[in-house]
């Protein structure tokens, strides 16, 4: 396949140069003709020049089956670009004069055959150059129009037929067991529709896949077509909408015409919310082009016959904005929610993406799955890919836990800012702030497990604390939410108790805590105001539903909501400060260890809490060494300015030696 692509690309690259060469040759030919100075001689003038011996070169071409002769040549005294032409009748006297002059004066005489006598030669001389010019002009204009072909075929469907070379089946889709069961009927129908028709069963015309980005909606649709071994047309919702009204509707009609010619087949529309948004909404009214496209799509789906053999699968992560007419039975009959995978699903997804990767012994996919709650399938694939890239960058032969930890941080927070410089006072503030989060997580009964604590800046954060739940839950209790808020306030509480001062480092913690507290009061009914819902999750303002948001409570109730939120936050803040005060020794131990090692893993934290010190350092594993030990090694290796380097910078310098 690659060789074919390369040859095709090579031909496309050479064609413009070939065409340019033809044009240049034509230009040179024309210029050469224009530069020639040709003198027309009459019969008498030619005979006179011939008798006087001024003809130096002569070319004779018979015409009209030899009835006349066209002669051309040069005379003495002519320049290089000068020549003469003359037309002579068929005459024995003329031929004798030419022969006599040739014998006496040694004129260079050339006689050519009559071109009219050979049809092939006539075609080559007279017709072939014209055909060559026409073909070259047609090719040139065709190439010009290819780049702007949309000006002629803008009403054609943009749906593309998937290649058989990268066919996907259910074995390539992991973590979606229930979702695959939901769409298996489509495969059976596409393979054997008569089995369903015999019992009068109507197969769903359309299936809507809903879920967060990266959960495998597109992959699942490809797998359905792959399992059924039918043509797979895929198109994005944005490919329908154009500047001109009616273009999208035309493309919809053309797409279904193509599908009917290739039935049974499957059409996949990705991001259908781009064209299927609710009609008649928006700040400035409707969108004529999009709404006409949607109307045509609805009409085409209604126009399916019972045995058309066409199934539409659409995907979106915004089902709330879709038009209700699109979701009614008879159009998208079945709606399948593709959620983020659970721990078992993540393990299966990791197994698929780890097939071609060399992972060190002792690292199990089950443990990796437990460490990555909330990761989508795309996130997990990116995690292993980043880990593999890091292993190559570090010249390792296998992916170790160090690369996986770093890759997890990259996916969540971005790359570490190794070159970011901040003072020792800032490092200390960040260390105690993150240690405060860790102490709350360690001491609260229902808190999440502390997986990692670091003071290395990433993204907009000076450091962060990774905590994962001990077990994944479908819903959270009031105690869970209160302890989550308490954990978020642990950093600010540690700052207040240790330094008697507060910083701006907790602003993101406050944002999350406030959002949880407001949801508890206004949505979940977890306050003294009772089981009432005062607010709903906000939609998009561009739907025209939320610009003037209705307030379903009085100003007095709004004041009570604020008071309840403040009460929740203050109680959790007080609890966090009490825990920090009771465990000040543990806070100091974790913070001082963070200043020394910069990053602590779950195993190191557990050992530190149990033994009051870090485990013995592995001299062969540089990443497990403290910054003090690394500076000693850097001094031995002769690295300059080692005392001012961070741990990440020291590791980088030592790796290059």
Q: How far apart are CA 48 and CA 415, in angstroms?
A: 95
Q: How far apart are CA 87 and CA 61, in angstroms?
A: 10
Question: Which of 271, 434, 495, 598 is flagged as catalytic?
Answer: 434
| Rg of the chain in Å (alpha carbons) | 41
CB-based contacts of 108, cutoff 8 Å, min separation 6: 56, 57, 58
Q: How far apart are CA 456 and CA 464, in angstroms?
A: 8
First to last CA, the chain: 43
Q: What is the dihedral of CA 525, 526, 530, 531, to 10 degrees?
A: 30
Query: Which contacts (CB < 8 Å, 24+ apart) does range 166-172 have?
Result: 167/222, 167/226, 168/219, 168/222, 168/223, 168/226, 169/223, 169/226, 169/227, 170/223, 170/226, 170/227, 172/219, 172/223, 172/352
Beta bridge partners of 72: 59, 85
Is 434 part of the annotated catalytic residue set?
A: yes
Residue 279 · residue 236 · CB < 8 Å: no
Q: How far apart are CA 473 and CA 374, in angstroms?
A: 12
Residue 207 · residue 336 · CB < 8 Å: yes
Burial profile 29-65: b = 16 or more Cβ within 10 angstroms, e = fewer: eeeeeeeeeeeebeeeebbebbeeeebebbbbebeee
Token pair recorded at residue 215:
């959960």
Q: From 212, 296, 211, 216, select the one nearest 249 (Cα to Cα).
A: 296
The helix/strand/coil state of 455 is coil
Q: From 491, 480, 478, 379, select the one nearest 435 (Cα to Cα).
A: 491
- Which of the residues are catalytic? 434
């Amino acid at each position: 396949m690659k060789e074919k692509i390369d040859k095709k690309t090579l031909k496309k690259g050479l064609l413009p140069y070939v065409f340019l060469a033809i044009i240049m040759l034509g230009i040179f030919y024309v210029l050469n003709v224009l530069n020639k100075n040709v003198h027309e001689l009459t019969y008498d003038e030619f005979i006179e020049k011939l008798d006087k011996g001024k003809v130096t070169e002569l070319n004779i071409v018979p015409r009209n089956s030899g009835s006349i002769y066209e002669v051309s040549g040069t005379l003495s005294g002519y320049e290089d670009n000068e020549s003469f032409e003359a037309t002579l009748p068929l005459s024995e006297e003329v031929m004798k004069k030419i022969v006599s002059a040739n014998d006496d004066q040694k004129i260079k005489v050339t006689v050519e055959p009559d071109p009219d006598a050979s049809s092939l030669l006539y075609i080559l001389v007279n017709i072939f150059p014209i055909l060559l010019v026409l073909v070259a002009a047609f090719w040139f204009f065709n190439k010009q129009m290819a780049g702007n072909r949309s000006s002629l075929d803008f009403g054609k469907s943009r749906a593309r037929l998937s290649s058989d070379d990268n066919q996907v089946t259910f074995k390539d889709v992991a973590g979606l067991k229930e979702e695959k069961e939901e769409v298996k009927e489509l495969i059976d129908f596409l393979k054997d529709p008569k089995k369903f028709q015999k019992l009068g069963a109507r197969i769903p015309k359309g299936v809507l896949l809903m879920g967060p980005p990266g959960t495998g909606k597109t992959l699942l649709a490809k797998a359905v077509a792959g399992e059924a071994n039918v043509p797979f047309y895929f198109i994005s919702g944005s490919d329908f909408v154009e500047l001109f009204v009616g273009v999208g509707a035309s493309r919809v009609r053309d797409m279904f015409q193509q599908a009917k010619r290739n039935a049974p087949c499957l059409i996949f529309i990705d991001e259908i919310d781009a064209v299927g948004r609710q009609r008649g909404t928006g700040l400035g009214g409707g969108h004529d082009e999009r709404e006409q496209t949607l109307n045509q799509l609805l009409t085409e789906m209604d126009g399916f016959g019972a045995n058309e053999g066409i199934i539409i699968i659409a995907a979106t992560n915004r089902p709330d904005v879709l038009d209700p007419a699109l979701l009614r039975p008879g159009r998208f009959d079945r709606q399948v929610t593709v959620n983020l995978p659970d721990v078992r699903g993540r393990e299966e997804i990791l197994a698929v993406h780890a097939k071609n990767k060399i992972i060190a012994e002792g690292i199990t996919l089950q443990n990796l799955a437990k460490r990555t709650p909330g990761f989508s399938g795309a996130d997990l694939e990116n995690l292993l890919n980043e880990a593999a890239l890091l292993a190559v960058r570090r010249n390792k032969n296998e992916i170790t836990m160090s690369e996986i930890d770093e890759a997890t941080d990259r996916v969540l927070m971005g790359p570490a800012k190794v070159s970011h410089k901040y003072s020792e006072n800032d490092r200390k503030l960040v260390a105690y702030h993150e240690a405060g989060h860790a102490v709350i997580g360690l001491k609260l009964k229902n808190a999440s497990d502390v997986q990692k604590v670091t003071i290395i800046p990433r993204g907009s954060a000076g450091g962060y604390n990774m905590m994962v739940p001990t077990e994944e839950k479908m819903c959270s209790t009031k105690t869970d939410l209160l302890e989550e808020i308490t954990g978020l306030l642990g950093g600010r509480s540690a700052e207040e108790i240790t330094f008697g001062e507060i910083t701006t480092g907790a602003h993101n913690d406050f944002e999350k805590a406030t959002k949880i507290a407001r949801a508890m009061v206004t949505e979940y009914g977890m306050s003294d105001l009772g089981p009432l819902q005062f607010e709903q999750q906000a939609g998009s303002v561009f739907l025209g539903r939320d610009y003037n948001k209705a307030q379903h409570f009085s100003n007095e109730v709004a004041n009570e909501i604020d008071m309840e939120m403040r009460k929740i936050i203050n109680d959790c803040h007080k609890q966090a400060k009490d825990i920090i005060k009771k465990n000040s020794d543990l806070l100091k131990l974790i913070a001082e260890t963070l200043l020394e090692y910069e990053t602590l893993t779950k195993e190191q934290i557990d050992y530190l809490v149990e033994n009051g010190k870090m485990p013995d350092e592995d001299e062969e594993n540089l990443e497990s060494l403290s910054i003090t030990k690394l500076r000693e090694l850097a001094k031995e290796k002769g690295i300059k300015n080692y005392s001012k380097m961070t741990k990440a910078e020291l590791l980088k310098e030592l790796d290059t030696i």
